[in-house]
A and B are shown apart, each in its own frame.
Chain A
Amino acid sequence: MSTIQETAAEAHPANIDVPSKKNMGLGRTASWAMLIVLALLPLFVRNFVIFQMTMLLIYAIAVLALNILTGGSGQFSLGQSAFYAIGAYTAAILIEHGGVNYVLTLPAAGIICFAVGFLFGFPALRLSGIYLALATFALAVAMPQLLKLGVIEHWTGGVQGLVVTKPDAPFGLPMSQDMWLYYFTLVVSLAIYIASVNLLRSRSGRAMMAIRDNEIAAAAMGVDLSIYKTLAFGVSAGITGVAGALGAIAVQFVAPDSYTFQLAIALFLGMVVGGVGWLPGSLAGAAFIVFVPNIAEGISKGLSGAFFGVLLFVVIYLVPHGARQGAIYAETLFNKLKRS
């Protein structure tokens, strides 16, 4: 017979410290301001910077996906790079071998990764906290080697990887490939962001957050733990897959060693820096993992890793709850200024 020894009060699965704020989104004014900046900035910068901004958005999508899993349902994952890789290869193979339009590869990558994530979620049900993190880590470590397997080399290009053709702007729009891809990514990111905020504010999202906060109480309210935990894995993997597909198109290249566990850890870092459970923070987290390594390299080429560590330490020390804490501080300050 089952002997559940733990009492409900002790049943917090992963003790995730989610800072308290009313919702998962951003205020109306702040959202529009952010969107205007993102929409207008590429008009004033070089193509390389536009490419970097595209990567920023792509990583923001991947961080947001992890945020839905960890911040939303309380499950850890150090294996997001595996889903990112599957999404990237799905897009690359469909475009290069199947001649599929790049736009259609995004839903394809999303659906395939959703299925993989959903299935992976079942064995993950038996694990929680750090054990789940380790299981997903194993997935991340295995993925580059799986991609090099001889049997699928014809499709994946083996160690060599695949080169992906960069799409031109459609309808003869007078913009560079980089700029078109940026705006395309921006629209996709926005759609994913809005859908994710909707999801977390809905009945399904509340069920996931209830599981994060207290599994036994959630079950007593009629929440099916296994369904919502696996769904969270599926949704997170699916969104990561879309990010991977966009990444493959933007970088124009996929190779097994682009998707090592370092990517998974970078995404995890991005989530923590952005604020666990706060979706707009994903953009700040992505900015951290895209730009801070460059800044560290600017300080010292030989010790870039060490400086990155120092900068990370400073951020975690000053704002342990990540960008969300900064946003709450800014909001209070703004309201104070408005009153005076």
Chain B
Amino acid sequence: MTQAQLARGEAASSADPLLAVRDVSVVFGGIVALNGVSFDMKRGQILGLIGPNGAGKTTLFNCLSRLYQPSKGDILMEGVSILTRPPHKIAEVGIGRTFQNVALFPNMSVLDNVRVGMHAHTTSDIISDSLKLPWVRRSEAAINRNVDEILAYLDLTSVGHAIVSGLPFGTQKRVELARALAAEPKILLLDEPAGGLNHEEVYVLGDLIRRIRDERGITVLLVEHHMGLVMSIADHVVALNFGRKLAEGTPSQVQSDPEVIKAYLGSKDQ
């Protein structure tokens, strides 16, 4: 698909990229955090975004969830720019996310956390809600059915009524995943999902991410430090360093790229 077609926003077929990052730059008061980064994400792909600390991974992630405004470039979801949307209008185009250190609603139950995940796909107003009108009851019943299904899928049914702040970290991460899935995203952005997990938990997580892609057809963008996880589940890897794209390709291609090795291990003459 050419740039011109993208600009016209033509109906995307399955071969077109689901998400296209086009020449994105971000500058923070003179410091260039991202410098002309471009890549495509195909439907059904698990894309791993890697790079050493300060490479710009989180900056890019925050551009995708609209917390940062790129100074240059564009981000297209199914051929349409998302950069004119405020952060709360991102969920409805099908972009869901989790956060680096878990950003749940700590004083709410697991059920309520996941119910909030469906906010973008439901409607209500305060008067109908206060009076619990029949259509509010119907919509709540639909929400509950969906939430029950997701909790069962992620093996969280037994903790449904528990308050999130009292749960172990690993469980909280799964709750966050459940909340993101409740929004029925087309693309799921995972910000360092393996952080704080032990070896076995990382293995289980990798399996889960693959299952989410295979069974629910969700495209996954994985920002991760844990090389083992990225290399084992990603179909495609993009490596960043100092805000630039260093390499792109299959995991094995990227792993053997001399530039990537240099960025991670340092070169002899340094």
Residue from the set B92, B108, B119, B163 with the largest chain A CB neighbour count within 10 Å: B119
A3 touching B28, Cβ below 8 Å: yes
* A-chain residues with CB within 8 Å of residue B107 when the two chains form the complex: 16, 18, 20, 209, 212-213, 277
In the complex, A151 has a CB within 8 A of chain B: no
* A-chain residues with CB within 8 Å of residue B62 when the two chains form the complex: 4
Inter-chain residue pair count (beta carbon < 8 A): 135
- Contact digits for B87-130, partner A, Cβ 8 Å, 1 yes 0 no: 11111100011011111111111001001110111101110011
Knowing A8-B99, A22-B109, A203-B139 touch, does A222 contact B130 (C-beta < 8 A)? no
* A-chain residues with CB within 8 Å of residue B103 when the two chains form the complex: 8-9, 11, 214, 216-217
A203 touching B124, Cβ below 8 Å: yes
B117 touching A221, Cβ below 8 Å: yes
Question: Which one of A191-199, A240-248, A261-269 contacts B?
Answer: A191-199
In the bound complex, CA of A218 to CA of B71 (Å): 25
* B-chain residues with CB within 8 Å of residue A220 when the two chains form the complex: 65, 87-88, 90-91, 96-97, 99
B161 touching A221, Cβ below 8 Å: no
A231 touching B126, Cβ below 8 Å: yes
In the complex, A223 has a CB within 8 A of chain B: yes
B65 touching A206, Cβ below 8 Å: no
Within 8 A of B (CB), among A12-32: 16, 18, 20-22
* B-chain residues with CB within 8 Å of residue A209 when the two chains form the complex: 105, 107-108, 112
Knowing A214-B103, A216-B67, A221-B179 touch, does A195 contact B108 (C-beta < 8 A)? no
B142 to chain A, nearest CB (A): 11
Majority-rule SS of B interface residues = mixed
In the bound complex, CA of A216 to CA of B106 (Å): 13
* A-chain residues with CB within 8 Å of residue B116 when the two chains form the complex: 206-207, 210, 218, 221, 223
A204 touching B166, Cβ below 8 Å: no
Q: What residue of chain A has the Cβ atom nearest to residue B28's Cβ?
A: A3
In the complex, B203 has a CB within 8 A of chain A: no
B64 to chain A, nearest CB (A): 11
Knowing A7-B101, A209-B108, A222-B89 touch, does A204 contact B126 (C-beta < 8 A)? yes
A277 to chain B, nearest CB (A): 8
B169 to chain A, nearest CB (A): 12
Knowing A203-B124, A223-B88 touch, does A198 contact B132 (C-beta < 8 A)? yes
In the bound complex, CA of A215 to CA of B65 (Å): 14
A217 to chain B, nearest CB (A): 4
Knowing A9-B99, A9-B102, A209-B105 touch, does A223 contact B129 (C-beta < 8 A)? no
Q: What residue of chain B has the Cβ atom nearest to residue A5's Cβ?
A: B28
In the complex, A225 has a CB within 8 A of chain B: yes
* A-chain residues with CB within 8 Å of residue B69 when the two chains form the complex: 1-2
Within 8 A of A (CB), among B125-156: 125-126, 129-132, 136, 139-140, 143
In the complex, B183 has a CB within 8 A of chain A: yes
Within 8 A of B (CB), among A21-71: 21-22
In the complex, B266 has a CB within 8 A of chain A: no
B204 to chain A, nearest CB (A): 23
In the complex, B29 has a CB within 8 A of chain A: yes
B residues at A contact (CB < 8 Å): 27-29, 62, 65, 67-69, 71, 86-92, 96-97, 99-109, 112, 115-117, 119-122, 124-126, 129-132, 136, 139-140, 143, 161, 163, 165-166, 179, 183
Known: A8-B101, A199-B129. 4 other contacts (CB 8 A): A3-B68, A8-B100, A21-B163, A203-B139
7 contacts between A and B (CB under 8 A): A4-B68, A9-B102, A18-B107, A20-B163, A199-B130, A220-B88, A223-B88
A residues at B contact (CB < 8 Å): 1-4, 7-9, 11, 16, 18, 20-22, 195-196, 198-199, 202-207, 209-210, 212-214, 216-225, 231, 235, 277
Instruction: State the 7 A-B residue pairs at the shortest beta-carbon distance, nearest first.
Output: A222-B120, A202-B129, A222-B91, A213-B105, A20-B163, A8-B103, A195-B130
